Amino acid sequence: MATCKNYVGVTCVNGNCPNAIRYQYPEYDLDKVLCEECWHNEGCKDCIFNYYGICEVQGMTIKVKYHGKYKIQKIKQGDWIDLRTQEDIELKKMEFKLISLGVSIELPEGYEALVVPRSSTFKNFGVIQANSIGIIDESYKGDNDIWYFPALALHHTFIPKGTRICQFRLIEHQPCFDIEEVKELKNKNRGGIGSTGTK
């Protein structure tokens, strides 16, 4: 189960955390448990902030202006939300086109959106996202700041209107940090790119 960054389970604070018990009774040599793997972790159901009605994440809202007939739908499973083409698209081999996704969105303060192709997009239509991944920050929020999918066709293709072509999710802004120049990192070299093997 993916754990919300704000998640604090009831078990985390009532003394029954598996890791707290592990430290309390070292003689039993219990394994360390990652929070996202903990059998007590039930997400929002188990979160103490949700229990007391002070969860900030659940109350988050995005404002959407539509430029077509297809609406964004909340999903019951998974973290990513699909976006659709607003018109029939025909592309020749190696033709590039900015495909309108029919939305302008005001993101919550402190968040940005990642936009990537759906896993079936290339398989079904032979197009790739030209910039690999799209990053939309919170300042791109005007009525005419329409979201687009930059498609590059690797063969002649036709994409019907209403196709779920890509998906997005929200992430928090990167935290502020300083940059320090050093002569040496004084860490052990892992062995370069691909050093963990191919299997």
Smallest Cα–Cα separation from 80: which of 121, 40, 126?
Answer: 121
At position 43, the amino acid (one-letter code) is G
Catalytic-labelled residue, pool 46, 137, 143, 145:
137
Q: Are 165 and 122 in contact (CB under 8 A)?
A: no
Query: How would you list the strands of the sheet with 127-129, edge to edge?
Result: 96-100, 148-153, 127-129
Query: Is 137 noted as a catalytic residue in this protein?
Result: yes
Q: Are 94 and 154 in contact (CB under 8 A)?
A: yes
Distance CA 32, CA 80 (A): 30
Distance CA 155, CA 30 (A): 56
Residues serving a catalytic function are 137
